[in-house]
Structure 1
């Protein structure tokens, strides 16, 4: 972890540890407060190896404020398996919808570590997959790793490398942050869907981001887009 030089390298280090248990995805960030815009929510993401299509749906639909894992993170400091929330979701239709739709993106089994930042903000670190195993004695080890990885990535996020985008790239990234699809962005900017996808890949490369959500989060933190 100490040798990692980017948040994505931190994510890859985490995944190298948890893949043998069946976990393939990681997400971590500071929990936004109710009323925050989609862009503000995304800007709070610190580690992101989550399906982009699910992130787009999740943030654009305001699922964060219906997600039972987020509620648990803000009310408890104990790590938990998502399966432990089933009883609390039984009579909560929005929460059941969020968890059910997450399974469509191979996010059916997860483990989350609640944390607090130095200034008292709630934060969460999750690993997930369609199926995995987590022996009870691994929980403490993963909690320690989660806290260290989050702190390491948060420090990197506070000192981003400057990135320069062309005006057209900035336009594309702005509309990605608004939750628009490639086809919709193409219609708005009067370019082909293929051109939008190509520019999105160029933007990811400039930020050294593993996916679009990570690129958007970095751009928002650097105030390249608003």
Structure 2
């Protein structure tokens, strides 16, 4: 029997598959943010330091005043959350991750400004591709309380939402379909078990192969699907209809 968190995740994925506009995507992500206790959210690519962030913003659920100020002052260049996102593809809670970072004066000033708009703590999901593309899905509030299950579900939701918005903007998801066609039956099998929460060791026991072989199979699948971690791989496999 699925938990409420799992139901929220799968309901969102199912709803997203049916939408045809960015406005509908915004409504669905607003529901998700509310259900996890967040007041704000955004999805954006991450530009190079000499570029402006405005063209990279895919979905903006920030307070209008803060969004206007952020883009006018190009705050992404000093935003510690963005800097952390560039360094790793692991999802993170701001409070946990930023305490280990050396944040300069400009970063601290930025964080103090953000607090005025209830950007006190949050959860962010970096999205990296093997081709060098970088993006972020981020949620913010005055406080958060996420279980490990909720963090995993929100990680999956974020990747799916980002890729759905890109799909709506570019007019299709043929690329992910094409990538999925190159997966072997064994790769699909391992991804399916991975989506059930099985570890590489557990999958090896189920399939009667070594744990090292499972890891190698999943690494190959990640490369074919242009993903950098297993959560991203599962999300793309769901979008391609390879697993359910």
Q: TM-score, normalised by structure 1?
A: 0.64
Instruction: Please name the residue that 1:13 is paired with.
Output: 28
Instruction: Please name the residue that 2:44 is paired with.
Output: 29
Instruction: Please name the residue that 1:97 is paired with.
Output: 109
Which one of the candidate residues 48, 60, 69 is aligned to 1:48?
Answer: 60
Which one of the candidate residues 157, 162, 168 is aligned to 2:169?
Answer: 157
Q: TM-score, normalised by structure 2?
A: 0.59
Any stretches of 5+ residues in structure 2 without a counterpart? 1-15, 173-244
Greater RCO (CA < 8 Å, at least 6 residues apart): 1
Find the aligned partners of 1:151 and 1:91 in 2 and give their Cα distance. 30
Q: 1:64 to 1:137 in 2, by over 3 A?
A: same
Once the 2 structures are TM-superposed, how far is the Cα of residue 118 of structure 1 from its aligned partner? 6.6
Q: Does 1:137 align with 2:149?
A: yes
Name segments (4+ residues, structure 1) moved above 4 Å.
Answer: 88-91
Which one of the candidate residues 69, 75, 86 is aligned to 1:63?
Answer: 75
Any stretches of 5+ residues in structure 1 without a counterpart? 161-226
RMSD: 2.0
Q: 1:118 to 1:151 in 2, by over 3 A?
A: farther
The count of corresponding residues between Structure 1 and Structure 2 is 157
Once the 2 structures are TM-superposed, how far is the Cα of residue 8 of structure 1 from its aligned partner? 2.9
Find the aligned partners of 1:47 and 1:15 in 2 and give their Cα distance. 11
Superposed counterparts of 1:119-134, under 5 Å:
119-134=131-146
The answer as to whether partners of 1:68 and 1:85 remain within 8 angstroms in 2 is: no
